[in-house]
Homo-oligomer: A and B are copies of this chain.
Amino acid sequence: MPTRKIPRATAKRLPVYCRYLNALLNANKRRVSSTELSEAVQVDSATIRRDFSYFGELGKRGYGYDVESLIKFFKGILNQDKLTSVALVGVGSLGSALMNYNFHQSTNLRISAAFDPKPALANTIKSGIPVYPANELKKQIKEQQIDVVILTVPASQAQSVTDDLVEVGVHGILNFSPVRLSVPDNVQVQNIDFTNELQTLIYFIESNHLNGQDE
């Protein structure tokens, strides 16, 4: 396991590398050059080399990268051999879409419980996932030992639900609300804010300060 602090941008690319390498392996390709890898994942090769350097030497000059050992390595880092159960809080239209989302199937992520205060949804099964009433949130999260939560509640409830989640030991929140959550240092928050993403995209179009894909 790596011991150096790696940038979040690097961490976000690891699943991208991993997925492409799996496709190569399925096609019986054993080796990949840094140029091929770069073109396939649309990340420039200097960035790839820098990313890989955080994890030590993984390629050989003139040979490229060994597909199988790279996969094994990244899977270990990404913990893809272990099933991670995730809860989803807030079954609105976005929450429902995420319950439908297949998370690339190949990975070991699974939404195992959902929560919503609407009486019509409580104690039903939706997209194969049990929906519990909101007042069972703390009990179920604790009993099911869920560590990671997808938060799709309205902005007005985001912080109070977060406080409950932290109280019962959740360590990671994928936050879709526009609220900047306040959490203790041992809890990780990853924000996905569609408005920000669109505004950033438009900013880059207008200013054309960066080229191509995000890193």
Contacts and interface: CB of A to CB of B under 8 A. Distances in A.
Nearest to A94: B97
Interface stretch (A25-33, A65-73, A132-140, A189-197): A189-197
Contacts of A96: 93, 97
A183 B172 CA distance: 34
A156 interface: no
Identical copies of this chain, number: 2
Interface of A: 1-2, 4-6, 8-9, 11-12, 14-16, 19-20, 40-42, 77-80, 84, 86, 92-94, 96-98, 100-101, 103-104, 107, 109, 147-148, 150, 171-174, 178, 180-183, 185-186, 188-215
Given A19-B178, A78-B203, A172-B202, 15 more contacts: A2-B207, A8-B210, A14-B200, A16-B193, A16-B196, A78-B199, A86-B198, A94-B101, A103-B194, A104-B178, A147-B205, A180-B213, A185-B211, A188-B212, A190-B200
A93 B92 CA distance: 11
